[in-house]
Amino acid sequence: MFIKPRILLASAVSVLALIACSSNDSTQGAAPAKGAVAATVNGTPISESLVGLMLKQRTDLGREAGAEMRNQFIDRLAMQLIIAQEAVKKGLDKAPEISDRIELGRQSALVDAFVQDYFKNNPVSDDMLKAEYEKIKAQATGTEYKARHILVENEAEAKDIIARLKKNPKAFEALAKEKSKDRGSKANGGDLGWFDPRGMVPEFGAAVAKLAKGKFTEEPVKSQFGYHVILLEDSRPQQVQPLEKIKPALTQQIQQQNLKKLFDEMKAKAKIEIVQAPAPAPAPVSAPTPDAKPAEPAKK
């Protein structure tokens, strides 16, 4: 598909993207009894809460997580614990690189816990949603278009399609289904629905903006994806979807904005001292080979 990702709302802070994905309330469902043990390995317990966490992650993905899957997770955790115990016996947990990786994992878990706690204790109110929605509506300017297109490999093929359309403009949908290599719109006769031209590759967006309603491009439009023949069906002032329809995405955006603001404040108050990286060690001087002969003195 040649269309760039369409942005419904202002882009969220990328560093928080993965955190936001896990921001749903993790307390849903019956929690296992505190301290309950699912199995033991050489006397070391595998907690029921850990098994429950793995099962919940699976159900969150829409997958089955019954008794058989529970046993598979326990078996996997047991094998993991056996290997980890052997690694500790060898002292591998004391290796600097492994210690660093363990510490990074600990910090990552704490960051996730902090974020979930923040979201839980700082819910997004209806007033905040309405204010953000009004801001989005005020910023929604310009024109959006409803168009179809046929994408082909070479210019000659695009020109042939244009010649056929000049004879029969109503053949656009049929030609798109037959000729277009854009899998995302081909089956729908090249229909792209409503879009902001700024969300398209520049050549496509510029060509659409120049078309009159009901007209198609009489010259192929070249882009990085090939050659396009475009039909403009309609245009209108840019619109914003109803608040109820975008409420979940808008809620997440406000959460991320608030969290980013908090992180910036925390960073501003922290004392961060960056130590200059150590200079690289000098290259060793090559010693002369044993059979090297001394230079002869210059003759007078």
The 10s digit of each residue's pLDDT in 35-91 is 799 999 999 999 999 999 889 888 888 888 888 899 999 999 999 999 999 999 999
- The span from the CA of 77 to the CA of 51, in Å, is 8
pLDDT tops 70 at residue 165: yes
Domain 32-94 and domain 141-237, same fold? Reply is no
**What is the reported pLDDT for 31?**
47
CA distance 73 to 100: 27
How sure is the predictor about 299, in pLDDT bands with cuts at 50, 70 and 90?
low
Give the architecture-level CATH label for domain 141-237. Answer: Roll (3.10)
Q: Is residue 289 over pLDDT 80?
A: no
Tokens of 159: 């020109």
Question: Within a 10 A sphere around the Cβ of 52, how many other Cβ atoms?
Answer: 19
Longest dimension (CA), the chain: 100
Q: What is the pLDDT of residues 169-213, one digit of tens each?
A: 999 999 999 999 999 999 999 999 999 898 899 999 999 999 999
pLDDT at 280: 79
- The domain ranges of the chain are 32-94, 141-237
Confidence at residue 231, expressed as pLDDT on a 0 to 100 scale: 98
- Residue 296 — very low, low, confident or very high, per pLDDT cuts 50/70/90? low
- Given a cut of 50, whether residue 13 has pLDDT beyond it is no
Nearest to 38 by CA among 28, 46, 30, 27: 46
Overall average pLDDT of the 150-170 stretch: 97
- Looking at this protein, which amino acid is placed at residue 137? K
Report pLDDT for 283: 72
Residue 19 identity:
I
| CA atoms of 31 and 50, how far apart (whole Å) | 11
Q: Which is more confidently placed, 41 or 20?
A: 41
| Distance (Å, whole) CA 136 – CA 95 | 52
Residue 177 DSSP SS3:
helix
Query: Going by CATH, does the domain composed of 32-94 fall within 3.90.550?
Result: no
Tell me the per-residue pLDDT of 220-279, one tens digit each, with 9 for 90 and over. Answer: 999 999 999 999 999 999 888 899 999 999 999 999 999 999 999 999 999 999 888 877
**Whether pLDDT at 298 is above 90:** no
Helix H segments across 90-151? 96-121, 126-139
Record the tokens describing residue 300, joined without a space: 């007078």
pLDDT of 122: 95
For the segment 54-64, what is each residue's pLDDT rounded down to a tens digit? 898 888 888 88
Instruction: Give residue 276's pLDDT.
Output: 85
